[in-house]
């Protein structure tokens, strides 16, 4: 019972970010994308998402997590990045609406120290260390 209450609380706490992800997901669906549910999260891919993910600086990227929504380049890359992205889902449940500002602040801090703002970001370090499937960081980035 306590576990279910904590899970619901985490979902509510992360919900402002989840709404951002739903917006991106709706845009994907309106432009020919797709959606599936995996491990309690909505996963969107294709359409506008594929177009933008292929053109981002340091891209292409595999996926980005926004609360309990994971948006990705394509279905295959979502599968490759799923373990990593679910570490971010847990981070959103801990940090709630403060996750994105904290993530950005960490990236800026790492950059100011001459480090890689993505790979040295503590949120990414945790995600890469905890995920069971290590995606190639050189070919396609997971976020």
Instruction: Summarize pLDDT for 60-89 with one digit per residue, the tens.
Output: 889 999 999 999 999 999 999 999 999 999
Q: Give the pLDDT band (50/70/90) at residue 133.
A: low
Q: Write down the pLDDT at residue 138.
A: 37
Q: Give the pLDDT band (50/70/90) at residue 39.
A: very high
The model's pLDDT over 106-130, given as tens digits with 9 standing for 90+, comes to 999 999 999 999 999 999 999 999 8
Q: DSSP state, 57?
A: T
Q: Give the pLDDT band (50/70/90) at residue 136.
A: very low
B/e letters for 13-46, b = 16+ CB within 10 Å, e = fewer, are: bbbbbbeebbebbebbbeeebbeeeeeebbbbbb
Residue bearing tokens 């602040």: 105
Give pTM, 2 decimals.
Answer: 0.88
Mean pLDDT, residues 52-61 taken together: 84
């Amino acid at each position: 019972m306590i576990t279910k209450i904590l899970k619901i609380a985490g979902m509510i706490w992360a919900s402002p970010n989840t709404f951002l992800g739903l917006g991106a997901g709706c845009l994907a669906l309106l432009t020919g994308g797709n959606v599936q549910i995996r491990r309690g999260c909505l996963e969107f891919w294709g359409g506008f998402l594929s177009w933008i993910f292929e053109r981002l600086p340091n891209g292409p990227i595999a996926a980005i997590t926004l609360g309990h929504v994971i948006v990705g380049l394509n279905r295959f890359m979502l599968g490759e990045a799923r373990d990593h992205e679910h570490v971010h889902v847990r981070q959103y449940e801990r940090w709630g609406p403060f996750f994105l500002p904290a993530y950005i602040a960490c990236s800026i801090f790492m950059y100011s120290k001459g480090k890689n703002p993505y790979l040295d970001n503590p949120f990414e370090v945790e995600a890469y260390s905890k995920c069971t499937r290590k995606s190639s960081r050189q070919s396609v980035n997971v976020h």
